[in-house]
Chain A
């Protein structure tokens, strides 16, 4: 038995699947860090403030934008799935859903980035 290779997977729906999966996993990895930061608040105001000052660095800021992008991408991917599975979307509409999802994600990330700087 032979298995299909990457040439079979090179289509918009698979890329959408991949973005959804990877963003989901990355966000899952980020969550413990997020909780740890919130936990700092319990350790006192100073500890939290010190950490928040650290997040002012450009590199950290940039990764925050990336994070918002991932969140938005994951959200858009989820909405796309809901539309496919609950609204019964058809083949012809496929590309547009992928595009709309990508658009929403980019828009959110950009809006966040503009707000930041």
Chain B
């Protein structure tokens, strides 16, 4: 049986260096069934250019480390099939937007996670290990809000897709605000007033223009837009009551 000639993908990959800070370089990669964008990047690094820098860990959509800009849109590359995103046989792969590039496809996520801390992203316990488990009924409204927003993997796709992050570098961004919203609805948490104050500022929830790019792109199908709208209502209510 004659071997089938493998179809070739033409892949433009962002490489650091040079005066412009970087440029796209084109690689030819054999196309395969059920191939992910991460597979393509790995193939280039293993077979064509070992100096290519990129980041991944779990390969199954859990760790949130593999996000890149694929054909102009931020995506988790380990769970994005080439067949879904390639235009003909072309693919363009760049680092995430709105974050400083360390090298090639790797961005510095520090600003992203620092903002989680600024938004009060840490859980503040009100009980100790000597206490019994708190029972939170699954059908309470607050618990439902948490359930709808809790599955964030911290991939930064929303952050890279949000225009407001690009326009206002101080803006806390969709993921950090989404995290704050889950904690504001967590009945076990003991830091609600301080967190509300943290997200009520100029760089907080009210900076959001409800463009919903975050919601459009979140690979976990979360809706940071809804969470942020919730924070807007929560802060407005607190302000009316004179608590803020």
Contacts and interface: CB of A to CB of B under 8 A. Distances in A.
A1 B97 contact: yes
A90 B233 CA distance: 15
A86 B236 CA distance: 11
For this complex, into which size category does the number of interface residues on chain A fall?
20 to 34
B210 interface: yes
A13 B216 contact: yes
A89 B226 contact: yes
A14 interface: yes
A88 B230 contact: yes
Interface string B163-187: 1001000000000000000000000
Contacts of B163: 4, 9
A9 B163 CA distance: 9
B97 A2 contact: yes
Given A2-B69, A2-B95, A17-B210, A86 B215 contact: no
B44 interface: no
Nearest to A85: B229
Nearest to A87: B229
A85 B209 CA distance: 11
For this complex, into which size category does the number of interface residues on chain B fall?
35 or more
Contacts of A85: 210, 229, 232-233
Interface in B63-109: 69, 71-74, 94-101
Q: Is the interface of B mostly helix, strand, loop or mixed?
A: mixed
Nearest to B100: A1
Interface in B192-244: 209-213, 215-217, 221-223, 225-226, 229-230, 232-233
Given A84-B225, A88-B230, A13 B213 contact: yes
B160 interface: yes
A11 interface: yes
Given A3-B97, A4-B98, 8 more contacts: A2-B69, A4-B161, A13-B212, A14-B213, A85-B229, A85-B232, A90-B223, A90-B226
Interface of B: 14, 69, 71-74, 94-101, 148, 160-161, 163, 166, 209-213, 215-217, 221-223, 225-226, 229-230, 232-233
Interface of A: 1-9, 11, 13-14, 17, 81, 84-86, 88-91, 94
